[in-house]
Structure 1
Amino acid sequence: MRFMGGDYVEEAVAGCTAVLRSALDRDWEQVRAGGLEWSCRRTGAHIASDLLAYAGQLAGRAQDAYVPFEITLDGTEDGLDRADNAGVVQVIETTGALFAATLRTTPREVRAFHPYPFRSAGREGFAAMGVAEVLLHTHDVATGLGLPYEAPAHLAEFVLTGIFPHVQPGPDHWRTLLWATGRGELPGRARLTEWRWNNNLVIEADRLTLQGVTPAAAADLRTGGDGGFEWAAEGPFEGTREAAGMTVKAYEAGVHRPEFGLFTLVRREDGRAVGGMGFHGAPDGDGRAEIGYDLVEAARGNGYATEALRALAGWALARDDVRSLFATVERDNPPSQAVLARAGFVQVSEDGVEEGLLAYELRG
């Protein structure tokens, strides 16, 4: 699964500037951008500001807050308004180029601060956020100025499957994205007045990170791809691909809760994925959630599964909506049974468990 973030940012910016250039002779300052309180000019400046801010976060490896700088458009100089409409478009192009270059040169494992919802994002998340800002605010400006604009479907899909994993897909990616951000209607769905995007969750362990798998990555894993990860030899294992298929089904049904989905286990020392671990769905009404996992054969025997399971279980049981964790394992799989035992799980009644399996539970 090739990372296309830089290409998609450039494509989104090219579409944006083409639309804006068709109205350079209009008054952008006195016209509101669609349903926003901002003027079209301020909205254009905001697009550029976001692109530069995201580039700064990744390039500066910011971990705790936004890098403390902002963009300011030049005013009048020598009788000329350097930041006229054409100047605003030029700044959008320039900041878009800077962001695209940053995305292309940022290693996959780098994460930087972003406040929502888990206080970090990788290059994939920042790319999707940047594309979203460009597409949506181009729509806002175009609406305000009465210009035709429709984002390419594959760019809208890139945003939806990257940072809107909680939004059920609709028949039209662009209309779905507009609905998901409070800008449009979808048959059978109430109009939104509040919304947030959702970057993937990363849970830290000692030698590993557990990295949330987005619907886009899950779809690639399900069909034989790598999901955008660099895998250890012979990976991913079949169980990870099956779990990715479950993620896709939940996403398509509109019941996917990303924090209770699939995580890829990534080794810190070399950035290689060594397995998958995750939940079979959100906790039930009793606060019970089921966990499953696997490792590529080359990574077994190193304690990775135990370490990851302890980290995931600790994260889950610290929540108010999780009271216990459940797992089943084959009777003839002592190594997996040992993983559960080392992580604190205890064997429980086999009532209702498929023949040939043992049931384990960990309570908070």
Structure 2
Amino acid sequence: MEEAVADCVAALGAVTDRDWTGVRAGRLEWSCRKTAAHIASDLIAYAGQLAGRARNAYVPFEITLEGSEDGLDAADNAGTLQVITTTGALLAAAVRTTPRAVRAFHPYPFRHANREGFAAMGVAGVLLHTHDIAEGMGIGYEPPAELASFVLTRIFPRVQPGPTPWRTLLWATGRGDLPGREPVTGWRWSNNPVLRSERLALEGVTPATAADLSLAGDGGHEWVGGAAADGTREGAGIMVRQYEEGVFHPEWGMYVLVRRDDDRAVGAMGFHGVPDGDGRVEIGYDLVVGARGHGYATEALRTLSRWALEQDGVRTVAAVVGQENVPSQKVVTRAGFTEVSRQEGQISYELRG
């Protein structure tokens, strides 16, 4: 967050002596001055959501630059950048001090976001609106690639990587073109989904989390036993490939199973892909050894299967279990699945809506 704001201030600080009020910000309808005020407004709003643990709506306050009711004729341009620096620092502090499991209200698409999601939204707002202002001012601007990548891999999971992260982010938000891709005329970012059962939070995995897990990282979680299971890492690798191919859908991907009482991960569960043309979707799961025997897999499978069958067009949730894997067979049967076939050492189960 601090790096994005510092980059913004460095770029726009070179043109503080020019008129921002009478110049349109790139492709926006706003002036450069209003767009700069909007950056600060977004940053303090996100900080407020996290600090206030907002649950069902935005915290009812707004920021106004000193000296004017609408904030557009108040502080000079340099003062506006100082406000952006200050509000950026407040969001960064809120992100650092908010516990990992906390989620606060944001309307799209699942009505909540965690600290990483708010950080990504804040960075996105800074980068994109700095670009808009720079375009209006007729100056060049390109942020560090890692900042654009941070945004893409957290809140743009369906956007296939392009030639560079920055060009990809500009295309994904209707601000640029990419060879072989249609122009974007409407867009929204997407925070990760979370489902809750009695003891668990099923946290949707972002492309960034999947990449870390696939490379033997912890994915931002504290795992029972110290590390994710091999099956989880393999599933994460599949997700990374889906993201790179542009076919990743966050709600039909992997979910990390996190105990709500101590915020420790016990395993992962997820879909092999989106439902097929017959409304069938396959599910798989994996628990770390130290978390087995407590009913977590059954609880999570009931929760995720029920959610899937509530989605439009989904008729069947399927699971395939090895004939030697008796514990897993018990999990699916306890979750209400019925055996439908056996072949080549595998048992196929289905749960129908």
Q: Give the shorter-chain TM-score range.
A: over 0.9
Match of 1:4 in 2: none
Is 1:64 paired with 2:53? no
Alignment of 1:310-325 (within 5 A): 310-325=302-317
1:82 deviates by 5.2
Q: Equivalents in 2 of 1:110, 1:61: separation in Å?
A: 8
Which residue of the other structure, out of 277, 280, 285, is the alignment partner of 2:269? 277
Aligned residue-pair number = 350
Question: Is the CA contact (8 Å cut-off) linking 1:235 and 1:275 kept in structure 2?
Answer: no
Q: Secondary structure at 1:349's aligned position in 2?
A: strand
Q: Secondary structure at 2:15's aligned position in 1?
A: coil
Unpaired stretches in structure 2, ≥5 consecutive residues: none
Question: Is the CA contact (8 Å cut-off) linking 1:163 and 1:200 kept in structure 2?
Answer: yes
Letter in 2 for 1:317: L
Match of 2:239 in 1: 247
Question: Is the CA contact (8 Å cut-off) linking 1:60 and 1:67 kept in structure 2?
Answer: yes
Match of 1:338 in 2: 330
Q: Equivalents in 1 of 2:23, 2:155: separation in Å?
A: 30
1:238 deviates by 0.6
1:349 deviates by 2.1
Alignment of 1:251-270 (within 5 A): 251-270=243-262
1:148 deviates by 1.1
1:235 deviates by 2.8
Which residue of the other structure, out of 224, 233, 236, is the alignment partner of 1:232? 224
Q: Equivalents in 2 of 1:356, 1:235: separation in Å?
A: 29
Is 1:108 paired with 2:97? no
Letter in 2 for 1:219: A
Match of 2:346 in 1: 357
Q: Equivalents in 2 of 1:206, 1:321: separation in Å?
A: 27
Q: Secondary structure at 2:248's aligned position in 1?
A: coil
Measured against aligned partners, the alpha-carbon deviations of 1:122-174 in whole angstroms (never above 9, x if no partner) come to 01111110000000000000000011100110000000000000000011110
Alignment of 1:43-58 (within 5 A): 43-58=35-50
Q: Equivalents in 2 of 1:260, 1:182: separation in Å?
A: 26
1:326 deviates by 0.6
Identity %: 68
Moved more, 326-335 or 262-271: 326-335
Is 1:123 paired with 2:112? no
Match of 1:3 in 2: none
Match of 1:91 in 2: 83
**TM-score normalized by structure 2?**
0.98
**TM-score normalized by structure 1?**
0.95
Query: Using CA pairs below 8 Å that are at least 6 residues apart, which structure has the higher relative contact order?
Result: 1
Q: Equivalents in 2 of 1:321, 1:283: separation in Å?
A: 8
Measured against aligned partners, the alpha-carbon deviations of 1:170-207 in whole angstroms (never above 9, x if no partner) come to 11110000000000000000000000101000001110
Match of 2:25 in 1: 33
Question: Is the CA contact (8 Å cut-off) linking 1:222 and 1:244 kept in structure 2?
Answer: yes
Is 1:167 paired with 2:171? no
Q: Secondary structure at 2:341's aligned position in 1?
A: coil
Question: Is the CA contact (8 Å cut-off) linking 1:289 and 1:322 kept in structure 2?
Answer: yes
Letter in 1 for 2:318: F
1:234 deviates by 4.2
Letter in 1 for 2:321: V
Q: 1:244 to 1:112 in 2, by over 3 A?
A: same
Aligned-residue RMSD, C-alpha: 1.1
Match of 2:209 in 1: 217
Q: Equivalents in 1 of 2:226, 2:298: separation in Å?
A: 21
Moved more, 228-237 or 146-155: 228-237
Measured against aligned partners, the alpha-carbon deviations of 1:18-57 in whole angstroms (never above 9, x if no partner) come to 1111111111000000000000000000000000000000
Q: Equivalents in 2 of 1:171, 1:288: separation in Å?
A: 35
Letter in 2 for 1:130: G
Alignment of 1:174-193 (within 5 A): 174-193=166-185
Letter in 2 for 1:20: L
